[in-house]
A and B are shown apart, each in its own frame.
Chain A
């Protein structure tokens, strides 16, 4: 849960960087024929809005409307009372609190587009809650809703200098937290407590720490964490045959990663070499999808060739008689392989 440090640090990410990111969304909207792009978020998947505005959606749901001209507006179910805080911790100036998000979009179109008969780009429409997407169409029968798959996340795949720096910092801090937990914790609860404390003290906004012990002596600490607006996942496994197999499988997959290959190709090559005694699940996802562990992404993403400069999270989950063990790390994709970011 998002209960760690939430701040706007303009030295780390200047206003111009946020402006450039919003402009990229506008370009995408324009190319899609839309007058305004609308992005959905709930507390469990709000990374795109966080990246564009620095807003921490710590609970509930929201939409970000980005018109071709003018400032973006947040339409949120969070109450009006926390608007001053939202403005202090984000670059947003226009925040509208309402329990009815679709109606909020209607009012926004009235004000900014002069009419509800607008062309509205729906970013990642397939992942919008069905009643909200349908409700928007019913409420705005004159509007034309246009799908904008990957409207934010595609560009984020290759991070800008500010996001890359935060990713590097986050991965490094998380690595240190996990190492500390292994070194200082006597058992699972202690290790979890140490990892939680050190990630939160390092300034992580979210930190989902999982410790697993298997019957063959393998153990792993798996952390998915949010630092500022970036997400990283590291999982370290030690101590038993399953952990060794997971580490070996991860190493095998990493050797397959390079620019020009898709996740599906990478997994197919890695799968062929895995010990058949385990049920193995690989993933190699672009860093914006770490927030949802890759579950919410455009359907074509698995077949899209990776680009040099892209930051990915490579993970292996092995299930066997002894239990489930995970190994995971973050890398920068290069033309001939990967570079570590931590």
Chain B
């Protein structure tokens, strides 16, 4: 195993993560952990392997004692796992045949309760194989357990999220550079994608919406051309060494109208209010309420409901949409949790509006991960 790499990954980081998981397993009366990661939910295998994988499935096993075993489904993933240096026991499997995984578990435990993170995505044929090969093992859902383990970040994780913040700043600039009257939505995204990949981002999640007060939400891009007076909203989420950081901004093509300015002022006040309450021990409820109270105070409280908005922010990390920030969520944000505060919603002022910053929870309060100012960016015509 490599002792360290260029951004400070070392044996103590691996040990810290395994200890956090083992503590959570013990609290749930579980003896070991099997992780299944489909292509769109890599976070838990990544947590234990630190490898960027590309096959449509990946597995990892944390035994009752000892080191992690990672299971690769392709030559490319096996190489990626070896290069990451996080796991030394790497085995190539012929997916969907999971007999080698069952052998690994069987060598560790003859019977007992095992957590299975990603069980909700595990195909029936894989589950049936595991149950047939390991009749005395009881598999329990463990995705929520892993969500809680990943909530608090290490210094290494925060440094990667910070690096993602730098790419967010550059990508937002690329977004503004691509916005002009006549540009089509998908062309803007092409420019941003090229820029952020060139900056070293592994991937990106991004949705967009252009137009006026008729816009109720963001989606993948269309071939609509930007017009003078449009608001162009985006949620831009580059992935840097596994970690997703996000920037939420809105630009206006040409000079903003009075109502567009009023909309920005409302959202800026809400973001600032959400960020202001953040400190270790605050709950998702507290942050969402601080944001929503601003809307209520200005007479826009009805636009904080699920009819107009999804969440008032969410935690960030190896999954791009970790714990939601909502008034009915009691998640406690501990020191070194990372979240984005974004009260994105529709109002009649200017249609759907997007504004938000990612922050890390510190003893001194929220620390921003971006340097891009929160402002209604004007694209000169």
Contacts and interface: CB of A to CB of B under 8 A. Distances in A.
B120 A129 contact: yes
A58 B207 contact: yes
Contact of B39 (A192, A193, A292): A292
Interface in A279-311: 279, 281, 292-293, 295-296, 299
Contacts of B222: 5-7, 89
Contacts of A58: 207, 219-220
A192 B123 contact: no
Nearest to A126: B125
Contacts of A3: 189, 193, 204-207, 220-221
A43 B123 CA distance: 15
Contacts of B75: 279, 281, 317-319, 324
A130 B119 contact: yes
Contact of A4 (B73, B76, B189, B219): B189
Nearest to A125: B124
B225 interface: no
Given A82-B219, A130-B119, A200 B193 contact: yes
A137 to B, nearest CB: 11
A118 to B, nearest CB: 20
B195 A208 contact: no
Interface in B197-223: 197-198, 200, 203-207, 216-217, 219-223
Given A130-B127, A200-B186, A205-B220, A295 B96 contact: yes
Contacts of B120: 129, 131-132
A81 B216 contact: yes
Contacts of A133: 124
Contacts of A79: 217, 306, 310
A224 B283 CA distance: 41
B228 interface: no
Nearest to B120: A131
A293 B217 CA distance: 32
Contacts of A7: 222-223
A280 to B, nearest CB: 9
A89 B186 CA distance: 14
A7 B186 CA distance: 10
Contacts of B122: 129-131
B64 interface: no
A45 interface: yes
A2 B185 CA distance: 14
A117 interface: no
A326 B76 contact: yes
**Interface size class, chain A:** 35 or more
Contacts, number: 152
B223 A324 contact: no
The prevalent SS among residues of B at the interface is mixed
Contacts of A6: 219-222
Given A6-B221, A324-B75, A324-B76, A127 B204 contact: no
A340 interface: no
A14 B62 CA distance: 51
Interface string A1-41: 11111110000000000000000000000000000000000
A196 interface: yes
Interface string A194-230: 1011001101010011101000000000000000000
Contacts of A203: 186
Question: Which of A58, A129, A279 has the most chain B CB atoms inside 10 A of its CB?
Answer: A129
A128 interface: yes
Interface string A98-140: 0000000000000000000000000001111111111000000
A189 interface: yes
Contacts of B123: 126-130, 296
B74 A317 contact: yes
B187 interface: yes
A295 B56 contact: yes
Given A197-B193, A201-B187, A1 B219 contact: no
A127 B124 contact: yes
Given A45-B56, A131-B119, 16 more contacts: A1-B205, A5-B222, A44-B39, A44-B40, A82-B217, A125-B124, A126-B125, A128-B124, A129-B121, A129-B123, A130-B126, A131-B122, A200-B194, A293-B54, A319-B79, A326-B76
30 contacts: A1-B204, A2-B220, A3-B189, A3-B205, A3-B220, A4-B190, A4-B220, A5-B186, A6-B220, A6-B222, A44-B38, A44-B56, A84-B216, A85-B219, A129-B121, A129-B122, A193-B198, A196-B193, A197-B194, A201-B187, A201-B190, A205-B220, A210-B76, A292-B39, A293-B55, A295-B95, A295-B96, A317-B74, A324-B76, A326-B76
Interface of A: 1-7, 42-45, 56, 58-59, 79-82, 84-85, 89, 125-134, 189-190, 192-194, 196-197, 200-201, 203, 205, 208-210, 212, 279, 281, 292-293, 295-296, 299, 317-319, 323-324, 326
Can you list the 8 inter-chain pairs with the closest CB atoms, starting with the nearest? A200-B190, A197-B194, A44-B39, A193-B198, A319-B75, A5-B186, A295-B56, A130-B127
